[in-house]
Structure 1
Amino acid sequence: MKGLHQLLSAVSRSFYLSMRFLPREMRPGVAVGYLLARATDTVADTVDMDLKERLALLKMMGAAVAGDASHEAAATCFGRLGVLSSVQKHRGEGELLARFPECLALLEALPPREQMLVRNVLSTIVEGQAWDLEYFAEHSSVTCPEQLEHYAYMVAGCVGEFWTRLGLLVLGGAFSTQPEEVLLRWGVHYGMGLQLVNILRDREEDFSRGRSYLPGDDAEPWLEKAELWLKEGVFYAESLHNGRLRFSTVLPAWLGLDTLDLLKQREIPSSRKVKVTRGRVYSRMWKAFLFSWKEAL
Structure 2
Amino acid sequence: MPIPDRVFLLGPLLKGVSRSFYLTLRILPAGMRDPVGLAYLLARAADTIADTALIPPPQRLALLLALRARVNGADDGGELVRRLAAEVASQQTLSDEKVLLESIGPALDVLDQLAGADREAVRGIVTTLTEGMEFDLRTFPDERSGQVAALPAMADLDRYTYLVAGCVGEFWTTMTYAHLPGTLQAPPAVMLARGVRFGKALQMVNVLRDCGKDLRIGRCYLPAEVMDRYAFVPQDLLAPANSARARPMLCELVRVALDHFREAIAYTLAIPRTAVRLRLACLWPILIGLETLLLLVENDAWLDPARVSKVSRGKVYRVLAGSVALVMADGALRAWMRGRIARIEARLA
TM over 0.5: yes
Q: In the TM superposition, what is the alpha-carbon distance from 1:286 to its structure 2 partner?
A: 1.5
Aligned to 1:82: 85
What TM-score do you get using the length of structure 1 for normalisation? Answer: 0.93
Aligned to 2:3: none
Q: Which amino acid aligns with 2:287?
A: W
2:145 corresponds to 1:140: no
Query: Is the contact between residue 108 and residue 115 of structure 1 (CA under 8 Å) also seen in structure 2?
Result: yes
Aligned to 1:281: 316
Q: Which amino acid aligns with 1:283?
A: R
Taking a change above 3 Å as real, the CA distance of residues 295 and 108 of structure 1, as seen in their structure-2 partners, is farther
Q: Which amino acid aligns with 2:318?
A: S
RMSD: 1.8
Moved more, 26-35 or 14-23: 14-23
Equivalent positions of 1:195-210 (< 5 A) are: 195-210=203-218
Aligned to 2:108: 104
Equivalent positions of 1:1-297 (< 5 A) are: 1-4=6-9, 5-67=11-73, 69-72=74-77, 75-83=78-86, 84-137=88-141, 140-174=149-183, 176-215=184-223, 216-217=226-227, 218-241=249-272, 242-268=275-301, 269-271=303-305, 272-294=307-329
Q: d(CA) in 1 for partners of 2:315 and 2:17?
A: 24
Query: Is the contact between residue 246 and residue 291 of structure 1 (CA under 8 Å) also seen in structure 2?
Result: no
Instruction: Name which one, 1 or 2, has greater alpha-carbon Rg.
Output: 2
Q: d(CA) in 2 for partners of 1:193 and 1:152?
A: 8
Percent identity over the alignment?
37
Q: Which amino acid aligns with 1:188?
A: V
Listed one character per residue, the Cα deviations across residues 48-102 of structure 1 (whole Å, up to 9, x for unaligned) are 01111100000000000011x2334xx2211111112133111111111111011
Query: Is the contact between residue 141 and residue 218 of structure 2 (CA under 8 Å) also seen in structure 1?
Result: no
Query: Is the contact between residue 233 and residue 250 of structure 1 (CA under 8 Å) also seen in structure 2?
Result: no
What TM-score do you get using the length of structure 2 for normalisation? Answer: 0.80
Query: Is the contact between residue 194 and residue 256 of structure 1 (CA under 8 Å) also seen in structure 2?
Result: yes
Q: d(CA) in 1 for partners of 2:186 and 2:317?
A: 29
Taking a change above 3 Å as real, the CA distance of residues 113 and 236 of structure 1, as seen in their structure-2 partners, is same
Q: d(CA) in 2 for partners of 1:282 and 1:137?
A: 38
Q: d(CA) in 1 for partners of 2:315 and 2:8?
A: 33
Query: Is the contact between residue 42 and residue 93 of structure 1 (CA under 8 Å) also seen in structure 2?
Result: yes
Query: Is the contact between residue 168 and residue 199 of structure 2 (CA under 8 Å) also seen in structure 1?
Result: yes
Q: In the TM superposition, what is the alpha-carbon distance from 1:295 to its structure 2 partner?
A: 6.5
Helix, strand or coil for the counterpart of 2:151?
A: coil
Helix, strand or coil for the counterpart of 1:71?
A: coil
Q: Which amino acid aligns with 2:207?
A: I
Aligned to 2:340: none
Q: Which amino acid aligns with 2:212?
A: E
Q: In the TM superposition, what is the alpha-carbon distance from 1:210 to its structure 2 partner?
A: 2.9
Q: In the TM superposition, what is the alpha-carbon distance from 1:270 to its structure 2 partner?
A: 2.4
Listed one character per residue, the Cα deviations across residues 225-259 of structure 1 (whole Å, up to 9, x for unaligned) are 11121222122111213101111111111111111
Q: d(CA) in 1 for partners of 2:34 and 2:313?
A: 30
Q: Which amino acid aligns with 1:180?
A: P
Taking a change above 3 Å as real, the CA distance of residues 43 and 61 of structure 1, as seen in their structure-2 partners, is same
Q: d(CA) in 1 for partners of 2:168 and 2:179?
A: 16
Query: Is the contact between residue 70 and residue 76 of structure 2 (CA under 8 Å) also seen in structure 1?
Result: no
Q: In the TM superposition, what is the alpha-carbon distance from 1:143 to its structure 2 partner?
A: 0.6
Moved more, 137-146 or 243-252: 137-146
